[in-house]
Amino acid sequence: MSVPAESDSQPHENGAEGHLAAQVASAVQMLGEWAHLDVIAAVAALQPIQVAAALTHLERAGMICDAAPARLTELGILRSPLTALSHAAREAMHARAAAELARRGATKPEICRHLLRAPGQGRAANVAILRASAGEETIAGQSATASELLQRALREPPPAQERPGVLLELAASLIAEGRHEQALRAAAQAREDADRLALEAEGGSGPGAGGAQAADAQAADAQAGGAQAADAQAERADGAYELQAAAEIAAFRARIGLGEIEPPLTRLLAEIGRFEPRHPDLALRMECALLSVAAIDARILHAGLRRYRERAVDESLPTAATYLLAAGQVLAMGGGTSAAEAVQLVRRGLRLHPEEMDEQDVVIRTVWLLFRADARDEAARVIARARERRPGGVSAPALDALEGLIRTRFGPVRGAVEPLADAFALARARRSTLASSAALAFLAIALLEADQAGALERLLAENDPGTRPGNAFAAVLQVVRGRLRLQAGQPGEALEDLLSVEERKQELGLVNPAGFHHIEPAVEALITLGEQTRASRLAQVNLQRAESWGAPITVALARGALARCMPPERGAEQMASALRTLDGVPASVAKAQLMLDCGRILIAAGRDMEARERLHEALDGAARLSAERLRRESHQALRSLGARPRRAHSHGVQSLTGAGRQVADLAAAGLANREIAERLHLSVRTVENHLRHVYGKLQSDRSGLARSLGREPG
């Protein structure tokens, strides 16, 4: 919500008539589409008859057009009537404009445009409008605008009991902007206000030991016939406690953003202990805040794991769902659980309070966890549900990025590039750090698998992984750069990238290999550099971790990496074991990669006929997934054997991807796009994209789908 500057200068006309005209022209300039006679009169503080006379005068002077609403001519704009008023007069007019537009039901942005230029008036209604508008700007990713609106709300000022809430909303916006010092100050002020409210409500006690004294006082009040007053007092105290906990969470996040670890961690753990006896849900909220940043430092990760293991979670608490989702993610990172157990925690959380999935960070991290656990269908359901519940806290770019992630593994890869590029551009424009980091990382994967090396190099040049925010997605970006360097024949540089990710993960206590898959290309780089023994040790450790996690794709890739370290005959057996791990798993880029690697090992073992079969399977799988890198490499491997690669199907039923065939079958059966989306847990947009590709490959439209699918062999 940009507000152009207004300068102070002398009036362009003198005398009473000139001053009256300046007021009316200023109101017209200020009101825009709302410049109707009665609104102008209210804003200029004049009688309608005076406004009518002034409009006639201004029209004759060529400054106003004869229209409703009134508007300035080019001459009127050139003379800039607002500058004919003093700063105080302009502020007063903006205040009246805000009040009048609010009375007439104008939109919040229209009202806030005037409030931002008006002095504080102590009106609770103005604070409510500013806060509501800031909330909408936050959802839209406009954190800077939200901060401006909330700072103005503080200048109103808000009622004393509302001030800490405004400060906390401001702290959240400032954190989203990366202004952590200012956020810390806002959080500290919020805590001071919350402490004061708690003291007022409980006569000097807080949620710790003093709470017993307050409880006794409340019991005495109740016995004396003041039960209703005691209930109101307890409600005020609970509200103050909630603000205290929220202030601690905001301060913790701000300090973490400033690079501090031990002091904020120690303080937060102490506050959790203080709140837990009488306010367990608030303590659990603080634990959720701790878990949300567990990937930043091993001390936070281990503290979160220790707290989780020390006691059972009371699932009746409102925050239990968020905690279970966060705990699943932290346990997965720290190697404290298997994929199946982590997915079960997510299911428990979603069953308890599915509305928690309205939070963008929760959705992104949950889908990322499900993706690493190979729970494709569950991840798709989470995304589809988040789309259904918009507008809310989850932005379209974030959801598009998550859908793109699933495509990078399960196809169609080529179809993921454009939506991911759009999602990244939009998330970056909205200054959404987590969503833009996720979209960037997933876009890099898609470009690599789509064999668009030039575009990937440009993307990495513009977004150096070393300068990205310190989250898991920055590490994924560095892995992609390492893989690209390996592909370009730079094993030394590739190894540096890949092992730096491993070192950082070890520092943070993140032992789970899923999602990153940096060890497999690191093993390949070491083999290329002639460091066979080192490659074998690294592959063995990686396999142990992968089997502890237990997700089929992670285990299969780890077994494939170890196979490449073995003599060809043993390696072929190990690679066959890796492929068997994927029995029952939907077709994936990982499976096509292992088919290709198996073919290469069989060539080294002198088993050319078997190699050809595996390479043809790799080529067909890559074609179905539109994974161009794998298609090219499979084609090259077949050529090295002197084999003529089978032509990949580009048209007809056999050219359809698995997902495309499912969508086509349901459409041919008469289901509408929305019904197909609900059946397959996809977005309507994704269904439309599938059908567009299906129509092209079958040379058909919707009315001819059944005939096309039925007359050609599947």
What pLDDT, in 10s, does the model give residues 308-321? 888 788 888 888 88
Largest CA distance in the chain: 103
Residue-level pLDDT at 650: 53
Q: Both tokens of residue 217?
A: 């006082």
| Higher-confidence position of 87 and 297 | 87
CB 384 within 8 A of CB 682: yes
pLDDT of 106-134, one tens digit each?
Answer: 999 999 999 999 999 999 999 999 999 99
Tell me, rounded to whole angstroms, the distance of Cα 364 from its chain centroid. 5
Region of 10 (left: φ > 0; alpha: ψ -120 to 50; beta: rest) is beta
Rounded Cα–Cα distance for residues 459 and 476 (Å): 14
Tell me, rounded to whole angstroms, the distance of Cα 635 from its chain centroid. 38
Answer yes or no: is pLDDT of 428 > 70.
yes
Residue-level pLDDT at 213: 46
Rounded Cα–Cα distance for residues 40 and 52 (Å): 10
Three-state secondary-structure class, residue 50: helix
What whole-number percentage of the chain has pLDDT above 70? 87
Residue-level pLDDT at 9: 37
What whole-number percentage of the chain has pLDDT above 90? 45
Rounded Cα–Cα distance for residues 361 and 427 (Å): 13
Residue among 173, 165, 183 nearest 255 (CA): 183
Three-state secondary-structure class, residue 72: strand
The distance in angstroms from the start CA to the end CA of the chain is 55
Q: Please state, rounded to an integer, the average pLDDT across all residues of the chain.
A: 85
Rounded Cα–Cα distance for residues 559 and 173 (Å): 45
Residue-level pLDDT at 8: 40
pLDDT of 228-279, one tens digit each?
Answer: 777 777 888 899 999 999 999 999 999 998 989 999 999 999 999 999 999 9
Rounded Cα–Cα distance for residues 221 and 203 (Å): 13
Sequence-separated (6 or more) residues with CB below 8 Å from residue 649: 623, 655
Classify each residue of 287-323 as buried b or exposed e, where b means 16 or more C-beta atoms within 10 Å of its C-beta: bbbbbbbbbbbbebbbbbbebbeeeebeeebebbbbb
Region 499-508: mean pLDDT is 85
Three-state secondary-structure class, residue 71: strand
Answer yes or no: is pLDDT of 433 > 60.
yes
pLDDT of 628-669, one tens digit each?
Answer: 999 999 999 999 988 766 555 556 676 776 778 888 888 888
Rounded Cα–Cα distance for residues 79 and 12 (Å): 8
The model's confidence at residue 218, banded by pLDDT at 50, 70 and 90, is: low
| Higher-confidence position of 187 and 8 | 187
CB 154 within 8 A of CB 170: yes
Q: Which of 331-340, 373-382, 533-542, 703-712: highest mean pLDDT? A: 533-542
Residue-level pLDDT at 4: 43
- According to DSSP, the residues that pair with 72 across neighbouring strands are 64
**Integer angstrom CA distances of residue 103 from 30, 31, 41, 96:** 17, 14, 14, 11
Write down the pTM of the prediction. Answer: 0.69
The model's confidence at residue 14, banded by pLDDT at 50, 70 and 90, is: very low
Answer yes or no: is pLDDT of 334 > 80.
no
Neighbouring C-beta atoms of residue 67, cutoff 10 Å:
9
Residue-level pLDDT at 466: 63
- Percentages helix, strand, coil for the chain (3-state, rounded to 5) are 75, 0, 25
**Integer angstrom CA distances of residue 378 from 158, 364, 410:** 44, 13, 14
Specify the residue for token string 């309205």: 358
Q: Both tokens of residue 687?
A: 């269904």
- DSSP tag of 669: T
The model's confidence at residue 212, banded by pLDDT at 50, 70 and 90, is: very low
Rounded Cα–Cα distance for residues 714 and 708 (Å): 10
Residue among 23, 32, 21, 78 nearest 54 (CA): 21
Q: Both tokens of residue 160?
A: 């004393």
pLDDT of 36-88, one tens digit each?
Answer: 999 999 999 999 999 888 888 888 888 888 677 888 888 777 676 666 678 89
Residue among 428, 362, 442, 473 nearest 143 (CA): 428
Rounded Cα–Cα distance for residues 39 and 21 (Å): 15
Residue among 620, 619, 649 nearest 632 (CA): 619
Query: What string of H, E and C letters represents the secondary structure of 534-550?
Result: HHHHHHHHHHHHHHHHC
Q: Both tokens of residue 442?
A: 């997933």
Rounded Cα–Cα distance for residues 311 and 316 (Å): 15
CB 426 within 8 A of CB 397: yes
Helices (H), 626-683: 628-640, 658-668, 673-680
Sequence-separated (6 or more) residues with CB below 8 Å from residue 201: 233, 236, 237, 239, 240
Kind plus residue range of the DSSP H or E element containing 64? strand 64-65
CB 145 within 8 A of CB 115: no
Region 414-432: mean pLDDT is 84
In residues, how long is the chain?
A: 714
Amino acid at 295: A
Rounded Cα–Cα distance for residues 19 and 17 (Å): 5
pLDDT of 559-574, one tens digit each?
Answer: 999 999 999 999 999 9
- DSSP tag of 357: G
Residue-level pLDDT at 221: 53
Phi, psi at 205, each rounded to 5°: -105, 165
Residue-level pLDDT at 316: 86
- According to DSSP, the residues that pair with 71 across neighbouring strands are 65
CB 512 within 8 A of CB 333: yes
Three-state secondary-structure class, residue 65: strand
Phi, psi at 157, each rounded to 5°: -90, 170
CB 652 within 8 A of CB 712: yes
Instruction: Quote the Cα angle for 552-555-559, to 5°.
Output: 135
Helices (H), 104-142: 108-115, 124-139
Residue among 526, 534, 469 nearest 494 (CA): 526
CB 287 within 8 A of CB 322: no
Q: Are strands 64-65 and 71-72 parallel, antiparallel or unpaired?
A: antiparallel
CB 707 within 8 A of CB 661: no
